Structure 1
Amino acid sequence: MKLDQLSPDRVALRRPETVMRLARMGSFHQSRLSFMRVLLRRLKSENWRFERRAFEIDAKGVGHAVYTMHGPERSYSLVAFAHDLAPELRSDRVIATAWDTTFTLFDGLPTAADIERLSLNVPLQEAGRVTSSELTVSRANRSVRMFDHVVDCLSRGEQPDTALVDAVGYLMRTTAVYGSGKLGAADRESICDRPEFAAPFQAEMLTVFLIRGFVLDLVEHLAVVKGGGRAITLEPKLRRRFGIGNSTGLGMAPFLLNHPILLNNWIAARETGLARVRGVAAATSDEIEAFRTLLRRGRRTIDEWQSEHPIQSGRIAELKTDLARLNGHVEGGALVEAYPWDRLYQWAETALSIEGQELLVSLMMEPYGALIDDLPMQMSADENAGFRIEGGMTVARLRSILEEDYAWALGIDWQSPEAQARTWYISAEKLEPRLGDRFSEPVAAYEQPLAPGRDAALLYEALKSEADATRVADFLLRHPEHRHILRRVQIAARHPYAEIRDNTVAADVLPIDLLRAKLSFFGACHFDPRSDRWVRINMFRNAPFPHELAEMEFAGWTYPALSEVSA
């Protein structure tokens, strides 16, 4: 798929050398294309029905619950297990062995025998085993201060402190949501032909959506246990202010490098959506008003975004300035000219920071569901189809691809220690990706192939002694060590957004940029880096709960409603 084939309108898609830089990818925001929002649009449009089939939780908060969504053809059930976890065992680290709650998404309606089997395995997570009847496996821990505060307040007949709710934003944090065959669960291939799972990560998003409902029910149940007749439930608007937190670290970072075709499809969909909007010849008054409304709501969202990380806190401050400048520009009549969105984006390229530009990309797509909402169905990928190496390609053609698509890598001095300061490897303790220091830690021997820029430069150097007419297959017979990067180069030639155009082992690489790029496509917001290697986020904050799907308006639920805007 060539770049010019992707462009749907008069406005060309942004070039990969612009989009596929870590600083920009680390500034992406959620949008209409984000997988949480794709899920909820489908659940509403198809009138999915929610049922709480079981809630057998005792006075200590221990037991199980079953939450089911019934769709047009199938039903899916979250089986939740609540545990009495000692404080000293509570940890967000992936190496934890016990959690406050554990979950699985079951394909259909679980029987008593299923629940008994799952109760012996799901609480163990990696130490247990599930079957192809389970689509995901997950776990979560309490945000103890927030959880206890809400239980205590509700038990006394009072609502929790709104400022604290807004500052924390969740009662529990997930530390993993595993799918795609992990721990014996169903492989992606077994469910990808189902319409509800055609877009990426829909089973995982459904899991988190149902977990959120269970957590809020659990906290209200424990308030009743503690307060008896005095206890109350959360006021509905305040209840929706709670999302599900998530702590994500280096384990997720290599995903975008390891799935180049999938990454291309995600970015291509986003860039196609942007180009479609920029190609709109004139904005209607309703479209302009929708954008202005969401801009106001977006400004409030940024006002509520808190982070102690120095880089992110600086970006938030800059973003507030950006949005004030954007608002002034829009109120000055910027949207009444021909091709207003194209003009607005071109203005932003010089007037706003990268973070501000990427938030504008998301905001511009909001009024245009009719132009955008078909694109998520194009975001999945059959990566096996791109695995085969084109052995008949000539060395001359391969060189030209490298010179065009990897010029950024060929210009790096790979002999510099700063250029190869980091090493990606897999920890023996938990079989999770880690990032070590190449020159001060004994990890180079265990390096994973996650430095495509360096490897492309090595391939290019090896090709210098080859005749132009030499076939790739013959070259690889003599140099099989280049097989992995040669395959990747050929993939990048067919998929323009497949490669991140930055050095992923440089001394100054920020893995949180990789994390944020992926999480923005999930639909996460309020990114809060805790270091350069892990981040906390919030998922489904302000979203309706499963029992509210039918009556709630979805436009812009990821932005807090203002008094003049209906929820």
Structure 2
Amino acid sequence: MHGAAHTSIPRRDPQTVMRLSRLGSLHQCRLSFMRVLTRRMAEENWSFSRPKFDVDEKGVGRAVYTAQGPERAYSLVAFAHDLPPEMRSDRVIATAWDATFTLFDGIPNEADIDRLSGNVPLQEAGRVSEREISVSRANRSVRLWEHMVDALSRGEQPDAAMLRSVGYLMRTTAVYGSGKLGAADREMIADRPEMQAPFQAEMLSVFLTRWFVRDLVEHMAKVRGGDAAVSLAPETARQLGIGNSTGLGMAPFIVNHPVLFNNWIMAREEAISRVRSVEKATEEEIAHFLELLAKTRTSVDSWMSEHPLQIEKLAQLKGDLDALETQVETHDFAGRFPWDGLVSWAQEALSEEGQECLASLILEPYGALVDGLSRCMADSNSDAFVIDGAMPVGEVRDLIENSFGWAKDVDWSARENCARAWYVSEEKLEPRLGERFEEPIADYEQPLAPARDAAMALRALEGWSPDGPVAAFLSAHPEHRHTVRRAQITRVAPYGEIHDNTISAQVMPIDMLRAKLSFFGATHFDPRSDRWVRICMYAGAPYPQELSTENCDLWVYPEGRA
């Protein structure tokens, strides 16, 4: 029944999926990286320990948290700091934080910790080694932190409404991996089973950071209250996640990594296709879907945002869930291909936000059918970036047309179609999206407008014989090398290109941010402008020592109206 060898419902067309408005409506799913990690750790019965917690009454010190898997261990080495309020900043250019971390490959000794103590608190100004896999830092939510220390020190639990409104005690301002600051390159860990899926080291670092944050706030409450202090109630602690503010730096990532991004999207599209191709659903599968639909409603009802765009999308999503709840009352789940029928209905009846929410939900009863796809989501195809100079010009032209044929009809001389330019700020060292005709930035533009560049390449190719090698064209027009490379990559990465204009006056960078963050497993996206978004990670998840096969996966769905 669940065989995927002859999928009868094809994957959705990239021209449908890869529009920015749809990418900006993606939701977490079974293939999200946080859930992939917690499932694996529970299934493999990882063990967790805290070999060191040496923090003084000012909240300054060091701690080590170790995760022991079947073959190897990883340790979060944490440094707690007493940060003056005027130095607290979430900017990339900050030089001090409330806490700094590294994920160590193995279990560190005192010499390792001493070496790291002279570097990790400095972040960019320090250097780590290939024994370290990621480097990160975090700042407190000052309001909730003080409230929680005060309440616990007096023997009381924190105010539930305040906890819900903030959602986290600390927020990461960066989690760096893949060779940053001297840390291990991705290639050094890519063949380890537990690191095979993308961003597993970073997700593990955040998972262990959440444990440290809980311990630290309880420690500070004990310092203040002595014997009167109490620990966080387990159910209260589980509501807390790790916050994160993500800005424009993440948007270029999905343009610059077309094979990797394709693999994420294609795995999800293949999962959706497999479930739509299930001919008969069991009563248990249907009941599981309906239970999680109800919990999704609980989650969406508690999703708050002050941004006008997100308020509108939330209103749409609530309306979509109303319609979906009505539809499932009469939907023929006993008939053939019930999930395809539901998805087909949604394509006509729901907004993109609702369609993508449903697409994620139908995967939930089918872990055996889709979870293995997480092993296909990394990018191990370095050959894809080598240009095939022997490819005939006509074939290259067809490949460009396939992804960017629509771009030929755009008037690229019109200001509204090229109003923006991506560049890197010298002062802040952060990606920026500027106004091309109002700021002197054109000379510093980054190649993050593939649609415009594709249209220019197609124009340049017009006089060339379709049978000649593209190498001759590139010899005369080297400025189009990156477009030809991207076009050839689409042969193995059909979902690698965004089918929209990334430099128009109307572009919403938060759509790109949400697409990436949904694959991390983030929920309750809260845009603060069109350029940065606040999220919470691991809210509702068990803590490491509570992790079991019963609670390792569906923690993302809140208890409530089930």
Q: TM-score, normalised by structure 1?
A: 0.97
CA distance in 1, matches of 2:228, 2:6: 60
Aligned to 2:275: 277
State the Cα deviation string for residues 275-315 of structure 1 (Å, max 9, x = none).
Answer: 01001111111111101110010000001100000000111
Which secondary structure state, in structure 1, belongs to the residue aligned with residue 559 of structure 2? coil
**Aligned structure 1 segments of 4 or more residues deviating by more than 3 angstroms:** none
Give how far 1:415 is off: 1.1
Alignment of 1:42-441 (within 5 A): 42-441=40-439
Segments of structure 2 that go 5 or more residues without pairing to the other structure are none
> Relative to structure 2, which stretch is displaced further, 471-480 or 30-39?
471-480
CA distance in 1, matches of 2:5, 2:244: 35
> Relative to structure 2, which stretch is displaced further, 445-454 or 7-16?
7-16
CA distance in 1, matches of 2:534, 2:346: 28
CA distance in 1, matches of 2:238, 2:6: 38
Checking the alignment, whether the CA contact within 8 Å between 1:7 and 1:272 is kept in structure 2 is no
CA distance in 2, matches of 1:92, 1:336: 52
Letter in 1 for 2:153: S
State the Cα deviation string for residues 6-37 of structure 1 (Å, max 9, x = none).
Answer: 99510010000000000000000111000000
Segments of structure 1 that go 5 or more residues without pairing to the other structure are 1-5
Give how far 1:336 is off: 2.5
Checking the alignment, whether the CA contact within 8 Å between 1:69 and 1:75 is kept in structure 2 is yes
2:37 to 39, 42, 45: 39
Give how far 1:485 is off: 1.0
Which secondary structure state, in structure 1, belongs to the residue aligned with residue 52 of structure 2? strand
Letter in 1 for 2:261: L
Checking the alignment, whether the CA contact within 8 Å between 2:394 and 2:466 is kept in structure 1 is yes
CA distance in 2, matches of 1:410, 1:43: 49
Which secondary structure state, in structure 1, belongs to the residue aligned with residue 556 of structure 2? coil
State the Cα deviation string for residues 72-98 of structure 1 (Å, max 9, x = none).
Answer: 110000000000001111111111111
CA distance in 2, matches of 1:506, 1:415: 11
Which secondary structure state, in structure 2, belongs to the residue aligned with residue 135 of structure 1? strand
Give how far 1:55 is off: 0.5
CA distance in 2, matches of 1:415, 1:120: 53
Which secondary structure state, in structure 1, belongs to the residue aligned with residue 239 of structure 2? coil
Aligned to 2:494: 496
Checking the alignment, whether the CA contact within 8 Å between 2:104 and 2:133 is kept in structure 1 is yes
Which secondary structure state, in structure 1, belongs to the residue aligned with residue 526 of structure 2? strand
CA distance in 2, matches of 1:135, 1:556: 28
Which secondary structure state, in structure 2, belongs to the residue aligned with residue 503 of structure 1? coil
CA distance in 1, matches of 2:558, 2:321: 16
Checking the alignment, whether the CA contact within 8 Å between 2:39 and 2:553 is kept in structure 1 is no
Checking the alignment, whether the CA contact within 8 Å between 2:280 and 2:335 is kept in structure 1 is yes
- In structure 2, relative to structure 1, the CA distance for the partners of 1:149 and 1:206 (3 Å cut) is same
State the Cα deviation string for residues 380-402 of structure 1 (Å, max 9, x = none).
Answer: 01242101111111111122222
Give how far 1:165 is off: 1.1
Checking the alignment, whether the CA contact within 8 Å between 1:8 and 1:275 is kept in structure 2 is no
- In structure 2, relative to structure 1, the CA distance for the partners of 1:396 and 1:7 (3 Å cut) is farther
Give how far 1:347 is off: 0.3
Checking the alignment, whether the CA contact within 8 Å between 1:90 and 1:98 is kept in structure 2 is yes
Checking the alignment, whether the CA contact within 8 Å between 1:7 and 1:13 is kept in structure 2 is no
Checking the alignment, whether the CA contact within 8 Å between 2:133 and 2:183 is kept in structure 1 is yes
Alignment of 1:476-487 (within 5 A): 476-487=474-485
CA distance in 2, matches of 1:94, 1:426: 13
CA distance in 1, matches of 2:5, 2:199: 26
Checking the alignment, whether the CA contact within 8 Å between 1:528 and 1:535 is kept in structure 2 is yes
State the Cα deviation string for residues 93-147 of structure 1 (Å, max 9, x = none).
Answer: 1111110000000000111011011001000000100000000000000001111
- In structure 2, relative to structure 1, the CA distance for the partners of 1:7 and 1:397 (3 Å cut) is farther
Letter in 1 for 2:400: L
Aligned to 2:521: 523
- In structure 2, relative to structure 1, the CA distance for the partners of 1:537 and 1:8 (3 Å cut) is farther
Letter in 1 for 2:227: G
Q: TM-score, normalised by structure 2?
A: 0.98
Checking the alignment, whether the CA contact within 8 Å between 1:7 and 1:275 is kept in structure 2 is no
CA distance in 2, matches of 1:27, 1:7: 30
Give how far 1:514 is off: 0.5
Give how far 1:424 is off: 0.6
CA distance in 2, matches of 1:162, 1:279: 43
State the Cα deviation string for residues 477-532 of structure 1 (Å, max 9, x = none).
Answer: 11111111110111123321010110001111011001000000000111000000
Give how far 1:337 is off: 2.1
Give how far 1:562 is off: 2.5
Q: How many residues align?
A: 559
Query: What is the identity percentage for the equivalent residue pairs of Structure 1 and Structure 2?
Result: 61
CA distance in 2, matches of 1:334, 1:98: 58
Across the aligned residues of Structure 1 and Structure 2, the Cα RMSD in angstroms comes to 1.2
State the Cα deviation string for residues 217-243 of structure 1 (Å, max 9, x = none).
Answer: 111111111111111111111110000
Checking the alignment, whether the CA contact within 8 Å between 1:418 and 1:507 is kept in structure 2 is yes
Aligned to 1:3: none
Aligned to 2:511: 513
Letter in 1 for 2:117: S
CA distance in 2, matches of 1:402, 1:138: 39
CA distance in 2, matches of 1:430, 1:552: 45
> Relative to structure 2, which stretch is displaced further, 555-564 or 301-310?
555-564
